Each structure stands twice: as C-alpha cells, then as structure tokens.
C-alpha cells in the first residue's frame, strides 16, 4: 500500500516529512492494513475506529504529534498547545557538537512529539571564513552541515534557528592571540571596535546564507564585566546600560542588513537595574534606556529555577512594562547531570507554562544546557523531550503512553529513564540545586569537597542510599551509560563512607579490605564508565570535546590509586595521619556550584 493511501489528507506543508519518516520508521509496515485520516479542528485528538485512525489537529506541529501517537498506537483527546512557536535549544558549545546524523534523529523526535522549532546554541562552534581561531579544534559546523540540517528540519515542519553570541560567553574563542584587538575581558567582545562588528557581520552572514529562518538569537547574556577590561582602558568608565545598548544597536543594524529579526536574552537589563539579581521584577531600568532598546529586538525571558507561578508572572509583567512580549525559555535539566533530571524539571516547568499561558505568550522553548562539559547522556534526554511536550500540550503525565511513544520512536524506555533519574536524589544533600551525582562522581577521594555536600552521616542513611542505588541499577538495562555512572557513583560512596569510618577508628583491617577490594572495584567501575561515556559520545557528537571527560575519568582512577597508597602508608606506620581526613568541615566552605574544577581539587587547574 502506498503512503498516499495510508496518510489521507496529510497536511500539504508537511509533505516533505513523508519520505523521511518512511525511511526511518517504515510507516507502510506499521500501518499496513490501516488508514490515517487527518482532519483540521480546534485541538489534537487521536481516535481509533476499526482500521481508521482519525487524527484531528489544529496546527502542523499537532498533526505531526498525532502521527507520533498513531505510530505508538496511543490516543489523545483535546490536547491544545497555545504556543505558536514551541521548541528546544540544543547546546552545541559546551564540548558536545552534535553529529549531523544524530541531530536528525533529535529533529525527528521533536517533530513527532509536537515541536516546531529548534535552536542550535553555537558560541564559536561554526566555521567563519578568514577566522581560523573561531571554533579552533572545537568540531565547528561547516556551512554544508548547517544547510543539511536546515533542509531536514524544514521537511519535518521545524524552524531551525541560529542561537549565537555577539557579546559575551566567548571565552573559548577569546583565549587566542588572534583575538587581541576585539577582546574587552576574557569572555566579552570589545564594544565600539570596528573589527568586532566585522566579525559579527561574518557570524550573521553564515546563518543568513545557510538557514531559512529570518529569526536569530544573538545572545548577549551574563556580560557582567562588560566595559571593565580593555574597554575601560580605552574609553574610561561608562554607564553599563549605555555600553550595552550602544552595542545592541550596532548589532541590530547588522541584523537588519542581513534581513534578520533578532532576539536576545533579557537578563542584563534587569541585572544592571538591580542590586539583587536577574529575577527582580522591580529592577530600576531608566526610561531613556528602555527607549534606546531597538524596537525590532525581542527580549527572551529565561528562567529554569523557580517553582512559584507568581515569580514567572511578575517577571513576564516586567517585560511587558518595557513594551516587550517575551519569548519564554524554560529548561529541561540536562546540565550538571549525568541523567536528565525529571522531577527537578517538572517542578519548574509546570508553573512556568501556566504563567506563560496566563499572559498569552506565543513563543516557548526549553533550553537543554551542557554546562560543565555536556556529560548528560542523551539516552535519558529523549524522555525529557516527551515530558516537556506533554506538559505544553496541557496533559498531565501519562507514563504508559510515554513508554509507547519512546518505543515507537526507537528510544530507550521512558519508564527506565524515570528510574534512572531518581538516582539524582538517592543521595540526601544539603541543597537541592546541587546534583548529588556530579558532586560524588567528580569528588576527589581524599579532599572530599563534594562529599561534604552529601548527608551520609549514619549507617541508616548510608545503607538506605546503597539499597536505593541497587534497586535502580537493577532496572535500567536500556540505559547503559546511566547504569555505568550509577555503578561508579555507588562505588565511590561506599569507599568514602567506609574509609572515613575506619580511619576515625584506626580500624586497619577494614582499611586493608578497602585497599584490596573496594578501591580495585571502583577502578574497574571507572573503566566501564569511561567506555560507556566514549560509546555514547561518539554515537552522538563529534570527537572534539571528548578529551575533557576522558581526562577527568582518568584522573579519578589516579586519585583512587593515590588513596590506596596513602592508606597503605598509614597501615605500615610510615605516616601517622591523612591530613585531608582530619580537617573539620565548616559550612562557610561549602560550594557555590558544582563545577568539576571546584569539586576535583581545592587548588588550581
């Protein structure tokens, strides 16, 4: 049977998707004796009447979502996504530059779960003519690769949008000598310098030439040291609002010349107008500053943190008072996590969506950051994409349906992913913004900076943690990377707890057992972790960036071996103590965040 007979009244604007989906999912086989009847309506419903599947849809993105449900033999009833643009932002700048083939898989998954926009966050990970140090050794995308992804996304009904940086967040680029003329600080471009705008012109030309979308995200967030480096040496002290707006006006002029509609992250206006933080809706932004913001630029409100709808509502209202209707950027929590964090995400996304709907926002997307090295396994991220779509389409979580969709789209088990996600919380910790997984995986076995964040103070708490890990690890066979991380984490937790206890009691027999059994077991677990990390990385990303994680894991092995040597010296009487274990812990020595470089050593890297 031909696809034309199977997909009756399929939206014409999605005709390009048919061949893609047939090649990847074999629709003719899935629907061999059935017919899909697409009917335009007011909301998405998928209903089964004998051999006919009626897909009632209100937009192209909901039609594709309905097809995804049909592929999974799943139903839908009156689902409504009020966001005209609904998408994700994929971080391709924190080491992990997604391979074209894997990016296509992500795009298919997005389309069939109801998204219609994808941003590629690329700080310096795309090639610019005449700028060999831009994306140097970073796996930068070529023009041909972006064109290929843009063509593919367009066929699936997805708008591919460039998401770049035109002021800050450019430290990996600005480290090179060739950038001296355009460097203000270590991560911020030099405003007012003509060579800066020549570079930005090249950036815009790259995306103008290789992408259909006339929208572009030009970044400009978190430039807290703007104007405080070489800019100050050249121009003296200037009001930060004026430096920022002056630069934005220049960049927007370039956007206009390239026929782009720009958007930026909105945080700097609020940060510059407040002594507190971005999230201060009463931030004092001078009227002359507001008037100087280019009319054509959109201010994207990003917030991945709050659990109270009122905070989102207040901040949206603050944007509206500036005369700007903000696109909303929430987050599927993939950063500082080895496993996509389901519960942490849900608690923050749901109030964000409610406030966005209440204020009639028309653009909503999820960021999926890779801060600290992009070590979150994508085998768990697909479940986050499914959940994120369900919430935006107004549905409460349906685990059984999500499991069917995961299987139909050839992704790991949704149920197993939720179990794996629970490992983020198997360790009780002092601050729920800190992921216990990364705290312990990167923690140095001797210094124990991360271990101080974990509340494993008694046998009861420790034994409960170990039992919880064992329960989860035995049930996530479809997520081998998560399983390897959890196994290594369990081994480190065991070593730390037993070592400190035996050291305090000078129980040399127990310490000898740790040397002979526990440490070799942890090193073996590190080997499996390293192999699984490499497997999933080379399947998903370009080789560039993999070295960072491999160095980290190898460092863990060396430090475990060092622990073994130090314990042996203690047992043999060569030393009287291990100083790192004798230091009294003080809450003033707690971490601000759990970056690898803060956890792995108290000294310099």
| Residue extent(s) of CATH 3.20.20.80 domains in the chain | 85-103+116-379+393-410
pLDDT of residue 446: 96
3-class secondary structure per residue, 80-105: CCCCCEEEEEEECCCCCCECHHHHHH
Give mean pLDDT, residues 93-108: 98
Residue among 501, 368, 350, 481 nearest 423 (CA): 481
Topology classification of domain 85-103+116-379+393-410: TIM Barrel (3.20.20)
pLDDT of residue 430: 53
Per-residue pLDDT reduced to its tens digit, 24-34? 999 999 999 89
Q: Over 60: is that where the pLDDT of 433 sits?
A: no
Q: Within 10 A of 416 (CB to CB), how many other CB atoms are there?
A: 22
Per-residue pLDDT reduced to its tens digit, 237-293? 999 999 999 999 999 999 999 999 999 999 999 999 987 789 998 899 999 999 999
pLDDT of residue 465: 83
Q: Cα dihedral angle (204, 205, 211, 213), rounded to 10 degrees?
A: 50
Give mean pLDDT, residues 582-600: 84
What letter does residue 515 receive in the DSSP assignment? I
CATH of 3-79 among 3.30.160.230, 3.40.50.300, 3.30.540.10, 3.40.190.150:
3.30.160.230
Q: Over 80: is that where the pLDDT of 326 sits?
A: yes
Asked whether 85 and 327 are in contact (CB, 8 A), the reply is yes
The pLDDT-based confidence of 13 (bands split at 50, 70, 90) is very high
Q: Over 60: is that where the pLDDT of 434 sits?
A: no
Burial track 104-137 (b if 16+ CB lie within 10 A, e otherwise): bbbbbbbbbbbbbbbbbbbbbbbbbeebebbbee
Q: Within 10 A of 358 (CB to CB), how many other CB atoms are there?
A: 12
Give mean pLDDT, residues 486-490: 94
pLDDT of residue 427: 60
How many whole angstroms separate alpha carbon 353 and alpha carbon 220?
Answer: 24
Per-residue pLDDT reduced to its tens digit, 342-352? 999 999 999 99
Q: Over 90: is that where the pLDDT of 409 sits?
A: yes
pLDDT of residue 594: 79
pLDDT of residue 463: 86
Burial of 551 (0-12, 13-18, 19+ CB in 10 A): exposed
Q: Over 80: is that where the pLDDT of 514 sits?
A: yes
Give mean pLDDT, residues 148-172: 98
Burial of 224 (0-12, 13-18, 19+ CB in 10 A): middle
pLDDT of residue 587: 80
Q: What is the CATH number of domain 426-599?
A: 1.20.120.670
| Residue extent(s) of CATH 3.30.160.230 domains in the chain | 3-79
| Residue extent(s) of CATH 1.20.120.670 domains in the chain | 426-599
Per-residue pLDDT reduced to its tens digit, 370-394? 999 999 999 999 999 999 999 999 9
How many whole angstroms separate alpha carbon 598 and alpha carbon 605?
Answer: 9
Give mean pLDDT, residues 326-354: 96
Asked whether 202 and 195 are in contact (CB, 8 A), the reply is no
Q: Which residue is associated with the tokens 């409460």?
A: 396
Per-residue pLDDT reduced to its tens digit, 442-484? 999 999 988 877 766 678 878 888 888 898 898 999 999 999 9
Q: Over 70: is that where the pLDDT of 416 sits?
A: yes
Q: Within 10 A of 550 (CB to CB), how many other CB atoms are there?
A: 13
Q: What is the mean pLDDT of the chain?
A: 94
How many whole angstroms separate alpha carbon 134 and alpha carbon 159?
Answer: 25
pLDDT of residue 451: 82
DSSP code per residue over 488-511? HHHHHHHHHHHHHHHHHTT-HHHH
Give mean pLDDT, residues 103-115: 98
pLDDT of residue 506: 97
Give mean pLDDT, residues 295-316: 97
pLDDT of residue 455: 64
Q: Which residue is associated with the tokens 């849900």?
A: 346
């Amino acid at each position: 049977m031909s696809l034309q007979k199977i997909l009756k009244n399929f939206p014409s604007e999605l005709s390009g998707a048919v061949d893609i989906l047939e090649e990847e999912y074999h629709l003719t086989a899935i629907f061999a004796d059935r017919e899909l009847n697409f009917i335009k309506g007011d909301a998405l419903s998928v209903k089964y009447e004998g051999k006919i599947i009626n897909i009632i849809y209100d937009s192209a993105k909901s039609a594709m979502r309905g097809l995804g449900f049909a592929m999974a033999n799943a139903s839908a009833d009156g689902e409504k996504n009020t966001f005209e643009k609904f998408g994700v932002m994929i971080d391709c700048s924190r080491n992990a530059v997604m391979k074209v083939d894997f990016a296509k898989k992500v795009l298919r998954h997005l389309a069939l779960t109801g998204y219609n926009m994808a941003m590629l966050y690329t700080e310096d990970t795309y090639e610019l003519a005449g700028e060999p140090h831009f994306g140097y050794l970073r796996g930068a995308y070529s023009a041909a690769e972006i064109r290929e992804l843009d063509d593919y996304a367009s066929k699936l009904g997805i708008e591919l949008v460039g998401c770049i940086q035109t002021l800050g967040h450019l430290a990996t680029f600005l480290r090179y000598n060739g950038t001296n003329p355009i460097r203000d600080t270590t991560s911020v471009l030099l405003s007012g310098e003509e060579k800066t705008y020549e570079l930005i012109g090249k950036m815009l030309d790259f995306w103008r030439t290789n992408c259909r979308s006339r929208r572009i995200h030009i970044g400009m967030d978190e430039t807290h040291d703007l104007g405080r480096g070489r800019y100050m040496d050249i121009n003296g002290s200037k009001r930060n609002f004026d430096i920022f707006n002056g630069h934005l006006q220049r960049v927007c002029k370039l956007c206009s010349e390239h026929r782009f509609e720009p958007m930026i992250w909105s945080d700097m206006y609020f940060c510059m107008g407040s002594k507190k933080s971005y999230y201060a809706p009463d931030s004092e932004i001078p009227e002359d500053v507001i008037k100087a913001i280019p009319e054509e630029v959109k201010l994207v409100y990003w917030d991945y943190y709050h659990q109270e709808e009122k905070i989102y509502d207040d901040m949206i209202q603050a944007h509206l008072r500036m005369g700007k209707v903000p696109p909303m950027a929430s987050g599927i929590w993939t950063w500082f996590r080895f496993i996509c964090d389901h519960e942490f995400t849900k608690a923050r996304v749901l109030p964000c969506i409610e406030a966005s709907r209440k204020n009639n926002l028309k653009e909503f997307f999820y960021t999926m950051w890779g801060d600290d090295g992009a070590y979150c396994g994508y085998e768990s991220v697909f479940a986050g994409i499914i959940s994120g779509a369900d919430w935006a389409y107004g549905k409460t979580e349906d685990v059984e349906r999500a499991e069917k969709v995961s299987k139909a789209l050839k992704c790991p088990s949704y149920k197993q992913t939720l179990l794996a996600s629970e490992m983020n919380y198997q360790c009780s910790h002092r601050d729920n913004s800190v992921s216990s997984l990364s705290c312990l995986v990167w923690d140095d076995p001797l210094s124990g900076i991360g271990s101080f964040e974990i509340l494993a103070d008694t046998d009861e708490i420790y034994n409960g943690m170990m039992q919880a890990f064992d329960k989860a690890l035995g049930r996530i066979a479809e997520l081998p990377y998560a399983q390897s991380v959890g196994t290594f984490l369990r081994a480190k937790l065991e070593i730390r707890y037993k070592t400190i206890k035996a050291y305090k009691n000078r129980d040399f027999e127990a310490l000898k057992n740790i040397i002979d059994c526990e440490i070799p077991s942890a090193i073996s677990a590190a080997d499996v972790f390293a192999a699984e990390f490499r497997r999933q990385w080379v399947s998903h990303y370009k080789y560039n960036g993999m070295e960072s994680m491999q160095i980290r894991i190898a460092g863990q092995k060396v430090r475990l071996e060092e622990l073994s040597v130090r314990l042996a010296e203690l047992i043999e009487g060569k030393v009287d103590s291990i100083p790192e274990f004798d230091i009294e812990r003080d809450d003033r020595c707690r971490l601000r965040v759990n970056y690898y470089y803060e956890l792995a050593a108290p000294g310099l890297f």
